[in-house]
């Protein structure tokens, strides 16, 4: 089959290359139309009970997709006419931003900010800033009254900071436009809020601080320019290294160019399929490019060896095609199947990354295994190249002969002891790996990034932030006016309030207690949940559906827990406390159904839970696919152990590194770790294919591995070093996510390479000596 395919393709190589060139032009046109595509809902798992609660009550509860804008007075005093006019203008501009759910906008100027007060005449309710006070007529006298009401009636720490240096505006976004049904463009929205709010109002007297998912995604997208810059650096470093390896501009162009062309195809096909490129998935195309470079180096390595042996370009290209088509295809199919298993994780963004990676790897079969050797057939050997390549190859052959000594009995045993010890330590150290964010703020951005600076300011100066966990208690109708139904919700909220990391808890029972105290002239001893249903009517009737604490018929009561951050440690404590209380007390209240959870923290908890439950099964699936395809390719259980054991060690070493660097496993990092396994599969396939070939030919294990390393080993070592060097430059990126992934990938590329050239041969030496499958030439001679 391979020979037949070779004859057909090389006979029609000009037509095939012209067709691929035309396809590249078409895909290039499509690729330039590919746009960033960020979404809040696609980061959420699709089959988690928390998400079911969120989707069922998303129109009735405070949403997780919210933003906060803090307007800060640099002189430390917001109670001036000048500042209040700026706050009015900022609130007004936010109200009319496309994508904002206008009913959710809340600041001191909005009419949903109400004061409830008891006077001698009775109960008094009015807007914090009365309707007759406007931007044009607000003066210091009016501000003093506003300040008195805001201080007295509970807006301190929620709508203005504890030190009166900043005022807060909170609002939610609509993922889908209610009229046009178009999806919200988060990156466009982030740019709008930056230009229409921050750039417009920030100056000598005012600071504007903005936090929220949309702003975080926008900042990551802004950092994408830096990502592209470091990709370009990696590209040039890789190109220079490939040239140093082969000393040929043409062969370098073939190895790098074929991989680059397949990325163009990948982007074009994604656009045709209607996909965009999520900023958090921007590293995936480079990983696929790296896999292509790995295969490209193997191709030009063999072409160079054939040319040195005296073959012309066409013969060398044909030999390379025939020899590497099967191992290359098996390696890429293994990568493809492994990446496709990511689709089993029920998170739309990870499924999208699986599609992006799978398309890219499938295209490598055409670009690297077919197009590259066809183009190489037109390669004209420059004068003096053969002599220069022969000298390089001679030095590398001597070096590989030394490396091959690892297959001798003593070095092989020592190597396996060392690798086994590292594996045990790595498994032990990785037991504490974190699921979710390890640090407060946005883990994808640097600690000194503007978003994280703004986030710390709001956390330090206000009693609320966007990190809210919303528990839902379903009750019979009119539960708001039943002490028996309200009391368990109060107890539940009180229990959560005492969890470490919780800043405050808001619920209808707590609000009713506050209003009851107000009715009793502010006497704190009356801050208790009234038992009389008519008193409950009095204390709860002002909290309608817009409050998010209940609905029109009081069929549910929500408990909103504001946390200090959304670190995995904080979330796990809160979830454990909520689940523990429900397990212990839920059966005592048969009329109550406690459901978790909505809010930003609840949705993150759901995502973390899915990642934690999917992590090990996905690794089992990936290694299961690798084992099946290795068995299919080599029909030998020894091959399974030799190819998969080094991969397993490198994977747990990667977990260890993530734990040490405090990188949490989350939607954006787990796929990168799984994709990095693909590089190790490539190394193993190329080396073991040649090792098995020479063992079948009757070579003893040391000489067989020596020949295999001379043919493919140097290319594997060089590929590992080149890719590690290329991604190591990412540590200087402004995006912490890219810097962390640069360190992780650099380590994984290097560890997989070391495993392939040490662990694989050491295992092969021990297994083939202990359980020999092939008869060596010396054995056959002795028997004869």
Beta-carbon neighbour count of residue 313 at 10 Å? 17
Tokens of 746: 């650099």
Chain-centre distance for alpha carbon 210: 22
Helix, strand, or coil (residue 774): coil
H-type alpha helices, 211-283:
213-222, 224-246, 249-272
- Predicted pLDDT at 782: 58
CA distance to 19, 134, 472, 562, per residue, from 469 (Å): 56, 36, 10, 6
Chain-centre distance for alpha carbon 83: 40
Tens of pLDDT, residue by residue over 625-670, are 888 888 888 888 988 999 889 989 998 998 888 888 888 888 777 7
CB 570 within 8 A of CB 557: no
Tens of pLDDT, residue by residue over 58-113, are 777 766 678 999 999 998 899 999 999 999 999 999 999 988 888 889 999 998 88
Tens of pLDDT, residue by residue over 376-408, are 888 777 777 778 778 877 888 888 888 888 889
Helix (H), strand (E) at residue 339: helix 313-340
Q: What is the dihedral of CA 339, 345, 349, 351, to 10 degrees?
A: 40
Q: How far apart are CA 468 and CA 63, in angstroms?
A: 9
Chain-centre distance for alpha carbon 301: 35
CB 186 within 8 A of CB 43: no
DSSP 621-668: HHHHHHHHHHHHHH--HHHHHHHHHHHHHHHHHHHHHHHHHTPPB-TT
First to last CA, the chain: 36
Q: How is the chain split among helix, strand and coil, in percent rounded to 5?
A: 65, 10, 25
Among candidates 367, 363, 364, which has minimal Cα distance to 376? Answer: 367
User: Which residues are CB-neighbours of 421 under 8 A, at least 6 positions away?
Assistant: none
- Predicted pLDDT at 635: 85
Q: What is the dihedral of CA 87, 92, 97, 103, to 10 degrees?
A: 110
Tokens of 570: 């904080």
CB 374 within 8 A of CB 706: no
Beta-carbon neighbour count of residue 306 at 10 Å? 20
Q: What angle do CA 268, 272, 274 make, to 5 degrees?
A: 115
CA-CA-CA-CA torsion sign (715, 716, 718, 724): positive
Helix (H), strand (E) at residue 127: strand 122-127
565: left (phi over 0), alpha (psi -120 to 50) or beta: beta
Helix (H), strand (E) at residue 724: helix 714-728
CB 736 within 8 A of CB 643: no
Q: How far apart are CA 558 and CA 418, in angstroms?
A: 56
- Predicted pLDDT at 721: 84
Spans of the chain, pLDDT less than 70: 62-64, 122-123, 178-179, 224-227, 678-679, 774-784
Q: What angle do CA 53, 55, 57 make, to 5 degrees?
A: 65
Tokens of 741: 């992934």
Q: How far apart are CA 380 and CA 365, in angstroms?
A: 25
Q: How far apart are CA 627 and CA 635, in angstroms?
A: 11
Q: How far apart are CA 507 and CA 561, in angstroms?
A: 9
User: Which residues are CB-neighbours of 66 under 8 A, at least 6 positions away?
Assistant: 104, 170, 171, 172, 173, 212, 466, 600
Q: How far apart are CA 713 and CA 753, in angstroms?
A: 10
In the chain, the largest separation of any two C-alpha atoms, in whole Å, equals 119
User: Which residues are CB-neighbours of 165 under 8 A, at least 6 positions away?
Assistant: 72, 73, 76, 77, 78, 461
DSSP 14-47: HHHHHHHHHHHHHHHHHHTT--B---SGGGS-SS
Among candidates 262, 336, 251, 266, which has minimal Cα distance to 298? Answer: 251
Q: How far apart are CA 709 and CA 68, in angstroms?
A: 59
CB 704 within 8 A of CB 404: no
Q: How far apart are CA 34 and CA 625, in angstroms?
A: 32
CB 663 within 8 A of CB 744: yes
Helix, strand, or coil (residue 572): helix
Among candidates 36, 43, 37, which has minimal Cα distance to 600? Answer: 43
Query: Kind of pairing, strands 122-127 and 66-73?
Result: unpaired
- Predicted pLDDT at 775: 63
- Predicted pLDDT at 21: 93
Q: How far apart are CA 141 and CA 144, in angstroms?
A: 5
């Amino acid at each position: 089959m391979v020979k037949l395919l070779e004859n057909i393709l090389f006979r029609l190589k000009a037509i095939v290359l012209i067709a691929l060139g035309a396809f590249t032009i078409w895909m290039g046109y499509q690729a330039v139309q590919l746009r960033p595509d960020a979404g809040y809902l696609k980061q959420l798992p699709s089959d988690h009970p928390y998400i079911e609660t969120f989707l069922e009550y998303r129109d009735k509860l405070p949403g997780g997709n919210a933003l906060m804008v803090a307007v800060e007075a640099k002189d430390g005093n917001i109670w001036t006419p000048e500042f209040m006019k700026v706050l009015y203008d900022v609130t007004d501009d936010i109200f009319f931003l496309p994508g904002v759910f206008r009913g959710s906008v809340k600041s001191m100027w909005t009419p949903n900010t109400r004061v409830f007060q008891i006077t001698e005449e009775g109960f008094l309710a009015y807007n914090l800033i009365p309707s007759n006070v406007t931007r044009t007529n607000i003066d210091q006298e009016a501000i003093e009254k506003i300040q008195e009401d805001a201080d007295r009636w509970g807006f301190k720490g929620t709508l203005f900071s504890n030190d009166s240096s900043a005022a807060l505006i909170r609002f939610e976004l609509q993922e889908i436009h209610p009229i046009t049904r178009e999806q919200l463009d988060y990156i466009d929205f982030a740019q709008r809020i930056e230009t229409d709010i921050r750039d417009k109002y920030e100056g000598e007297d005012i600071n504007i601080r903005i936090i929220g998912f949309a702003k975080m995604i926008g900042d990551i997208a802004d950092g994408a320019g830096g990502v592209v810059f470091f990709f370009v650096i990696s590209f040039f470093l890789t190109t220079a290294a490939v040239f140093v390896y082969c000393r040929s501009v043409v062969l370098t162009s073939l190895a790098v160019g074929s991989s680059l062309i397949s990325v163009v195809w990948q982007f074009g096909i994604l656009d045709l399929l209607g996909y965009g490129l999520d900023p958090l998935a921007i590293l995936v195309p480079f990983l696929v490019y790296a896999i292509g470079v790995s295969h490209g180096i193997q191709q030009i390595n063999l072409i160079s060896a054939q040319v040195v042996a005296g073959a012309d370009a066409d013969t060398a290209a044909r030999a390379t095609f025939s020899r590497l088509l099967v191992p290359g295809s098996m390696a890429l199919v293994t990568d493809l199947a492994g990446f496709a298993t990511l689709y089993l994780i029920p998170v739309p963004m990870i499924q999208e990354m699986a599609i992006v990676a799978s398309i890219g790897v499938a295209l490598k079969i055409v670009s690297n295994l077919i197009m590259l050797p066809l183009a190489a057939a037109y390669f004209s050997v420059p004068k003096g190249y053969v002599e220069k390549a022969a000298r390089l190859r001679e030095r590398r052959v001597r070096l590989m002969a030394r490396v091959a000594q690892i297959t001798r009995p003593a070095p092989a045993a020592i190597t396996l002891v060392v690798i086994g010890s590292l594996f045990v330590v790595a498994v032990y150290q990785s037991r504490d790996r974190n699921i979710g964010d390890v640090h407060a703020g946005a883990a994808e951005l640097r600690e000194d990034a503007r978003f994280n600076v703004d986030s710390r300011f709001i956390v330090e100066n206000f009693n609320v932030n966007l990190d809210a966990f919303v528990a839902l208690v379903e009750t019979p109708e009119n539960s708001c006016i039943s002490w028996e139904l309200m009391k368990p919700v109060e107890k539940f909220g009180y229990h959560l309030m005492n969890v470490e990391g919780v800043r405050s808890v808001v619920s209808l029972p707590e609000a009713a207690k506050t209003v009851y105290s107000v009715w009793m002239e502010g006497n704190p001893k009356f801050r208790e949940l009234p038992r009389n249903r008519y008193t409950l009517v009095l204390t709860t009737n002002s909290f309608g559906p817009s409050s998010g604490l209940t609905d029109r018929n009081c069929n549910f009561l929500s408990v909103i827990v504001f946390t200090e951050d959304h670190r995995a440690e904080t979330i796990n404590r809160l979830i454990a406390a909520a689940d523990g209380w429900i397990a212990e007390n839920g059966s005592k209240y048969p009329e109550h159904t406690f459901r978790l959870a909505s809010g930003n923290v609840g949705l993150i908890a759901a995502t973390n839970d899915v990642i934690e439950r999917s992590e090990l099964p996905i690794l089992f699936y990936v290694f299961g696919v690798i084992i099946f395809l290795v068995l299919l390719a080599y029909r030998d259980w020894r091959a399974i152990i030799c190819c998969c054991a080094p991969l397993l060690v490198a994977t747990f070493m990667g977990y260890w590194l993530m734990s040490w660097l405090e990188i949490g496993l989350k939607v954006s990092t787990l796929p990168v770790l799984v994709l990095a396994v693909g590089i190790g599969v490539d190394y193993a396939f190329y080396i073991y294919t040649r090792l098995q070939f020479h063992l079948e030919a009757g070579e003893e294990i040391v000489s067989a591995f020596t020949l295999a390393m001379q043919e493919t080993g140097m290319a594997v070592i060089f590929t590992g070093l080149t890719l590690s060097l290329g991604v190591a430059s990412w540590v200087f990126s402004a995006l912490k996510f890219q810097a962390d992934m640069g360190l992780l990938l650099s380590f994984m590329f290097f560890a997989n390479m070391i495993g392939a050239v040490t662990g694989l041969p050491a295992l092969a030496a021990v297994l083939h000596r202990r359980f020999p499958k092939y008869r060596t030439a010396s054995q056959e001679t002795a028997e004869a």
